[in-house]
Amino acid sequence: MKIRMTDAALLLAAGAAQAGEPVWDANKVELKAHKLADGVYAMVPADAARAADGVPIATTSGILAGSKGVLVVDTMLNERLHKQVMAEAKRHGALRYAVNTSYHGDHSYGNYFLPKSVTVIQHAAAKAYVDANFTKDVQFMEGAFGKGRGIDRIRPRTGDVLVAKDSRVQLDLGGKVVEIIDFGFGQTGGDLVVWDPQAKVAFTGNPVIAGKPSLPWLLDGHVQDTLDTLTRLYDFLPADARIVPGHGPVIAREAMKWHLDYLAALKAAVQDAHAKGMSLEQAQSHAELTAFKGYAIYDWVHKGINVPAAYVEFRK
């Protein structure tokens, strides 16, 4: 089962937007730099505290700096947000690298505004997606976020360095070695995690969308793969690691257990529904998972996306 939607589309479809406006407006979001360690910063939306109340928030970016230069994690949706990240990055040295944690526009469209001297790093599958779908994707994202956000200006810029499936790239920024790792299918076929082993900080993008009560968005299905991937990531990280998620404030490694427990409960409930011969509609009621409510878009994500994805996958 493949549900070709970006995270932006999900928010709009959830009914959280009013009067045709997106749940977060790329012309209004303000990003703030949070220092996590020497040369390590999370660029977090100023209203990030709302995530704890279950409200979806704008994209989180990151900056890693060493004596040889700076790496930016995710280049944002439009020029306005991109410039906010770049202004902070320039305070820490010359920009050398930009990594996209996925092909999603709010994580990669800002590539267009990067100087040619900057090396863009993507998963090979992310580049393949952009090469095949960019025009349609931009039109879709403009419909999701609204006109007048500068999305129509975007032109494709894909990776100069491509990370292959199940592999990693290591970069020496000067006194700071950073790893860019494919742990497997997290939300797309081209997810990357940026890991600073010295600071013990991982930038995950959307596979870890935010802390509790947010839930994984299984937009392309792959329930078991997502559970396996997040389990590998959880096991890889040291106990005191911190995570910069795709759309939220920094969380501890243990906060990932919420996502793992949810996916395990989803799998068990849907498999039980199949064992009892339930239809999809019956499975949606059976897999209510009330312990995991609290997300503002719970009904849409869980019942509208995740349960149908699990139902198709585990029917086999």
User: What is the distance between the alpha carbons of residues 60 and 121, in angstroms, rounded to a whole number?
Assistant: 18
Give the global pTM: 0.93
Please tell me the predicted confidence (pLDDT) of residue 228: 98
pLDDT in the model for residue 146: 87
pLDDT at res. 229: 98
- Burial label for 171, CB within 10 Å (0-12, 13-18, 19+), is buried
d(C-alpha 307, C-alpha 8), whole Å: 20
231-253: pLDDT as tens digits? 999 999 999 999 999 999 999 99
**DSSP string covering 251-272, please?**
EEGGGHHHHHHHHHHHHHHHHH
- DSSP letter at 59 equals P
Beta bridge partners of 244: 203
Predicted confidence (pLDDT) per residue in 155-198, tens digit: 999 999 999 999 999 999 999 999 999 999 999 999 999 999 99
Dmax over Cα atoms in the chain, in whole Å? 61
Residue 68 located in a structural domain: yes
Domain count, the chain: 1
* Residue 150, phi then psi, degrees to nearest 5: 80, 5
Compute CA 211 distance to the chain's CA centroid, rounded to the nearest angstrom: 12
Please name the helix (run of DSSP H) or strand (run of DSSP E) that holds residue 97, with its range, or none.
strand 95-99
232 domain-assigned: yes
Strands 119-123 and 201-205: unpaired
Residue range 87-111: mean pLDDT, rounded: 98
Residue 144: CATH number of its domain: 3.60.15.10
Residue 46: the pLDDT is: 96
For the record, the structure tokens of 84 come out as: 């906010």
Is 313 within the bounds of a domain?
no
**101 belongs to a structural domain:** yes
Residue 213, preceding bond cis, omega within 30 degrees?
yes
Q: What are phi and psi of 148, to 5 degrees?
A: 85, 10
**Mean pLDDT calculated for residue range 217-232:** 96
- Express as a percent the part of the chain with pLDDT over 70: 93
d(CA 218, CA 94): 37
Q: Residue 55 domain-assigned?
A: yes
The pLDDT assigned to 20 comes to 52
- Domain-located, residue 102: yes
Pairing of strands 161-163, 242-245: unpaired
Structural domain of 237: 7-254
- Tell me, yes or no, whether 122 lies in a domain: yes
More confident residue, 218 or 145: 218
Residue 279 falls within a domain, yes or no? no
Backbone phi, then psi, for 85, in 5-degree steps?
Answer: -65, -45
